[in-house]
Amino acid sequence: MESLPSRIETIEDFLSGEVPAGLAAERLGLHRVSFWRLVKRYRNRGADILRHGLTGRRSNRALPENFRQSVCEAYRAHRESVGGSVRSFYRSRKDTLLQDVSYVTVLTWVREI
């Protein structure tokens, strides 16, 4: 079975004139407008278009580090005074936290403690 051509190979085949735009877009599973955007980015940035734009940086949706630290400190205090699980801590504090944060996020943060 022949492997599917990579994105870069398909774009290079198109740019060299070997493959028409419609066929290249179809191979990549892209709408023609999205294909042209990809070609433009490839011309400007080269093979880096395959890398995610935030590689090596914090997420745009990441909560501030000082908020994370305050939640961890509150959990430590809760555990020392009341004991109990992370779930009981989250249930007792989720309405008083300054920002919305999910149980899974809190669980991930306090697992490091």
47 contact partners, CB below 8 Å, separation of at least 6? 8
Q: For helices 65-81 and 86-93, give the axis angle rounded to 10 degrees.
A: 110
pLDDT exceeds cutoff 70 at 72:
yes
Nearest CA-CA partner of 88 in 69, 107, 64: 107
Q: What is the pLDDT of residues 12-63, one digit of tens each?
A: 999 999 999 999 999 999 999 999 999 999 999 888 777 777 778 888 888 8
Nearest CA-CA partner of 2 in 27, 19, 20, 26: 27
Q: Which amino acid is at 71?
A: V
Q: What is the pLDDT of residues 79-110, one digit of tens each?
A: 888 888 888 888 888 887 767 888 998 999 98
